A = this chain, B = another copy of it.
Amino acid sequence: MSHISSRINETERLAADIERIHELAEALLPHIGDAPEIPPTSSEAAERLSALTAILHELHPADVATALEHLPQKERALVWALVKPEEDGDVLLEVSEAVRESLIEDMNEAELVAAVEDMEADELAELADSLPDKVVAEVLKDWDDEERAQVRAAMSYRDDQVGAIMDFETVSVRADVSCEVVLRYLRRFDSLPDHTDKIFVVDDHDILQGVLPIRKLLVSDPDDLVENVMARDIVRFSPDDDAEEAAAAFERYDLVTAPVTDAANKLIGRLTVDEMVDVIREEGEADMLNMAGLQEEEDLFAPVLKSVRNRWFWLAVNLGTAFIASRVISHFEHTIAQIVALAALMPIVAGIGGNSGNQTITMIVRAMAMGQLSGIQALHLLKKEIGVALVNGMVWGSVMGVISYLLYHNTGIALVMVAAMTLNLLLAALLGVLIPVTMEKLGKDPALGSSVLITAVTDSGGFLIFLGLASLFLI
Q: How far is the CA of A359 from the CA of B298 in the complex (A)?
A: 11
Q: Which B residues lie within 8 Å of A241 (CB)?
A: 9-11
* 13 residue pairs from A and B, CB less than 8 Å apart: A4-B210, A9-B241, A11-B249, A14-B371, A191-B215, A191-B219, A195-B197, A284-B288, A288-B366, A304-B391, A325-B348, A333-B340, A355-B455
Which B-chain residue is minimally distant from A306 (CB atoms)? Answer: B388
* Residue of A238, A288, A298, A356 with most partner-chain B CB within 10 A: A288
A362 in the interface, Cβ–Cβ < 8 Å? yes
Stretch at the interface among A28-36, A46-54, A62-70, A81-89: A62-70
Q: Which B residues lie within 8 Å of A277 (CB)?
A: 250-251, 273, 276-277, 280
A293–B191 contact, CB under 8 A? no
A189–B280 contact, CB under 8 A? no
A391–B305 contact, CB under 8 A? yes
Chain A contacts with B in 320-335, Cβ cutoff 8 A = 321-323, 325-327, 329-330, 333
Stretch at the interface among A112-120, A136-144, A229-237, A438-446: A229-237
A1 in the interface, Cβ–Cβ < 8 Å? yes
B315–A352 contact, CB under 8 A? yes
Q: Which B residues lie within 8 Å of A208 (CB)?
A: 4
Stretch at the interface among A101-109, A148-156, A374-382: A374-382
A336–B347 contact, CB under 8 A? no
Chain A contacts with B in 196-217, Cβ cutoff 8 A = 196-197, 208-210, 214-216
Stretch at the interface among A37-45, A126-134, A395-403: A395-403
Name 17 extra pairs, CB < 8 A, besides A1-B234, A66-B252: A10-B249, A11-B241, A19-B374, A186-B219, A187-B219, A189-B218, A250-B277, A273-B273, A284-B284, A292-B358, A294-B362, A300-B377, A311-B392, A315-B352, A318-B355, A322-B348, A330-B341
A344 in the interface, Cβ–Cβ < 8 Å? yes
B314–A359 contact, CB under 8 A? yes
Q: What mask results when residues 237 to 272 of chain A are scored 1 for a CB within 8 Å of chain B, else 0?
A: 110011001101111111010000001010000000
A373 in the interface, Cβ–Cβ < 8 Å? yes
Known contacts A288-B287, A351-B459; decide if A278 and B294 are in contact (CB<8 Å): no
A319 in the interface, Cβ–Cβ < 8 Å? yes
Which B-chain residue is minimally distant from A298 (CB atoms)? Answer: B363
Contact with A340, one of B62, B337, B344 (Cβ below 8 angstroms): B337
Which B-chain residue is minimally distant from A275 (CB atoms)? Answer: B254
B372–A348 contact, CB under 8 A? no
A2–B235 contact, CB under 8 A? yes
Q: Which B residues lie within 8 Å of A280 (CB)?
A: 277, 280-281, 284
B281–A251 contact, CB under 8 A? yes
* Residue of A216, A322, A323, A344 with most partner-chain B CB within 10 A: A344
Nearest 6 A/B pairs, CB to CB: A284-B284, A330-B344, A322-B351, A292-B362, A304-B387, A254-B274
Q: How far is the CA of A388 from the CA of B451 in the complex (A)?
A: 21
A348–B377 contact, CB under 8 A? no
B7–A232 contact, CB under 8 A? no
Q: How far is the CB of A258 from chain B (nearest CB, A)?
A: 10
Q: Which B residues lie within 8 Å of A315 (CB)?
A: 352, 355-356, 359, 392, 396
B358–A451 contact, CB under 8 A? yes
A22–B371 contact, CB under 8 A? no
A159 in the interface, Cβ–Cβ < 8 Å? no
Chain A contacts with B in 383-419, Cβ cutoff 8 A = 384, 387-388, 391-392, 396, 399-400, 403, 407
A227 in the interface, Cβ–Cβ < 8 Å? no
A223 in the interface, Cβ–Cβ < 8 Å? no
B22–A376 contact, CB under 8 A? yes
Known contacts A280-B281, A363-B298; decide if A253 and B62 are in contact (CB<8 Å): yes
